[in-house]
C-alpha cells in the first residue's frame, strides 16, 4: 500500500490553488493572490517575514496576521508544508503533487538546496506505513553540511 500524495492538487499552479480555495468557499483577495504568487516563485522555503516582504502588491504589504492565516490555511489544505531548517522560526513551501524534495542546509551560510533527486527514504516511509497500518505517510527530511562555496 503506497502512500497517497498529500496535496489535493493535481498540479502546482496558481489556477489550481485558486480553484481549490474557491471550492472551499474562500475568496481570493489581492493579498492572498500575491502571497500565492510569491510562494510559487520562490526557489526554496520562505519564512513568514520573507513571504510578507516579498508579497507587496501595488505598494501595500499584507500584514503579518494575514500571511500567518493564509499559510495555516494552505497547511490545513495540504497545499503547503512547514519546514524548520534547524532555525528558530518556521519556513514554508508549497507541496508539488508531482514531486517530493528534501532539503540540504549549509551550516556555514544557511543556504538551502532542494534535493530533487529520488528521495533516499521513500521506500522506508512506505514500509513504515505498511508496518504500522498508517496511510498518507509523509516526511520532511533535512541534511546539514557545508555547501561548495563554504567548504
Domain count of the fold of the chain: 1
| In-domain check, residue 112 | yes
pTM: 0.75
- Specify whether the CB–CB gap between 65 and 73 falls below 8 A: no
- Judge whether 67 lies within some domain: yes
In a domain, 9, yes or no: no
Mean pLDDT, range 98-108, rounded to an integer: 83
Residue 151 within any structural domain of the chain = no
Cβ burial, residue 109 (10 Å; 0-12/13-18/19+): exposed
User: How many secondary structure helices (H) and strands (E) does the chain include?
Assistant: 5, 6
**What pLDDT, in 10s, does the model give residues 1-54?**
333 345 677 788 999 999 999 999 988 888 889 999 999 999 889 999 999 999
Within-domain flag for 68: yes
> 98, 12 in Cβ contact below 8 A?
yes
Separation CA 80–CA 77 (nearest Å): 8
DSSP state of 27: -
What range does the domain containing 52 cover? 14-145
Residue 6 in any domain: the answer is: no
* DSSP conformational letter for 60: B
Residue 134 in 3-state DSSP? coil
Contacts of 49 (CB under 8 A, 6+ apart): 64, 89
What's the CATH number where 69 sits?
1.10.10.10
81-101 residue pLDDT tens: 888 877 778 899 998 877 777
Amino acid at each position: 500500500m503506497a502512500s497517497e500524495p498529500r496535496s489535493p492538487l493535481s498540479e502546482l499552479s496558481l489556477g489550481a490553488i485558486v480553484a481549490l480555495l474557491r471550492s472551499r468557499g474562500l475568496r481570493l483577495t489581492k493579498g492572498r493572490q500575491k502571497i500565492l504568487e510569491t510562494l510559487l516563485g520562490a526557489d526554496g522555503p520562505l519564512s513568514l517575514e520573507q513571504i510578507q516582504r516579498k508579497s507587496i502588491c501595488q505598494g501595500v504589504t499584507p500584514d503579518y496576521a494575514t500571511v500567518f492565516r493564509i499559510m495555516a490555511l494552505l497547511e490545513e489544505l495540504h497545499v503547503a508544508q512547514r519546514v524548520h531548517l534547524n532555525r528558530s522560526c518556521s519556513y514554508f513551501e508549497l507541496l508539488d503533487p508531482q514531486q517530493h524534495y528534501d532539503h540540504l542546509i549549509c551550516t556555514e551560510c544557511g543556504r538551502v538546496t532542494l534535493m530533487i533527486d529520488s528521495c533516499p527514504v521513500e521506500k522506508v516511509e512506505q514500509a513504515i506505513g505498511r508496518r504500522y497500518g498508517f496511510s498518507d505517510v509523509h516526511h520532511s527530511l533535512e541534511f546539514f553540511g557545508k555547501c561548495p562555496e563554504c567548504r
